Structure formats: C-alpha cells, structure tokens
C-alpha cells in the first residue's frame, strides 16, 4: 500500500471516529486540526494534499446540522468585532461633537493670555510696584 493511500485511510478512519464521537487521540472537535491529530498526519495534509477529504469532513459535519467549531468561533469573533466597531463609532461621534467646544475654549484662553501679556508690558500708571526689602539683622 502506498504512503498516500495509507494516509488517506488513516484520515477516513479518524473522520469516522470523530463523527461517531469516539476520538482516540484528539479532543474530538469538529475541526481540521482535531481530524489531523486524530489521523496522526500534519494539518497541511488536509489543507494541501487531501482537500477532498477536508471538504468531505465538513460536508458530514453540516449534514449533521452541527456548525463546525471554526465557524462558531469566527461567528463569535464577528459579533465581538461588530460591538467594538459600534462602540468606537459612538466614541468617535462624541469626540467630533466635543471638538468645536474645545476649539472655542482654546481661542478664548489664547485671547485672555494675549490681554494679560499686554497688561504686563504696559502696567497701569497708578500702580506702584512694591520693592521687597530684606530684613536687617538685629545689631548685636
């Protein structure tokens, strides 16, 4: 028997064990990874050399009405990503609404700063600056 036929036979036997719920060397998940582990072959044997067996396995899984684990995980990820996008869109909308108010505040502070600098450059003539005097040490 050629090695390719032996590999195909092992994959078919592993497929039967997994689909019957009696896995011996894998966790029995309805995935290609579990099938490869159960058959004792590398995963790429199913994804590159024996695509027909991979497709047959997934077809059997769908016939049973079961959703492959990979698909279930992907669907859950899609739901989480959609929630994340919705949250980010709300946050972005709020930030865009805040920008005009922040621009007005910055402009107001800039004008106030400019006025204060002008007041420092031209002090009011009625204001007399007080000079600090150091206290004299008492004569001993």
pLDDT confidence band for 65 (50 / 70 / 90): confident
Q: How far apart are CA 105 and CA 16, in angstroms?
A: 70
> Quick one: pLDDT at residue 2?
60
For 122-140, where are the alpha helices, taking DSSP H only? none
Say which range, 40-49, 61-70, 77-86, 115-124, has the weakest mean pLDDT.
61-70
pLDDT confidence band for 140 (50 / 70 / 90): low
pTM of the predicted protein model: 0.48
Which structure tokens are listed for 57?
Answer: 């396995």
Report the length, in residues, of the chain. 140
**pLDDT greater than 70 at residue 3:** no
């Amino acid at each position: 028997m050629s090695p390719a036929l032996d590999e195909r036979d092992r994959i078919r036997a592993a497929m039967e064990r997994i689909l019957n719920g009696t896995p011996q060397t894998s966790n029995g998940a309805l995935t290609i990874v579990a099938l490869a582990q159960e058959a004792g072959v590398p995963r790429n044997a199913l994804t590159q050399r024996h695509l027909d067996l991979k497709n047959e396995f997934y077809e059997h899984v769908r016939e049973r009405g079961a959703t492959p684990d990979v698909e279930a995980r992907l669907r859950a990820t899609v739901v989480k990503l959609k929630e994340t996008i919705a949250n980010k869109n709300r946050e972005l909308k709020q930030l865009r609404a805040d920008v005009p108010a922040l621009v007005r505040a910055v402009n107001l502070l800039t004008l106030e700063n400019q006025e204060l600098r002008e007041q420092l450059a031209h002090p009011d003539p009625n204001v007399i600056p007080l000079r600090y005097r150091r206290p004299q040490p008492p004569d001993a």
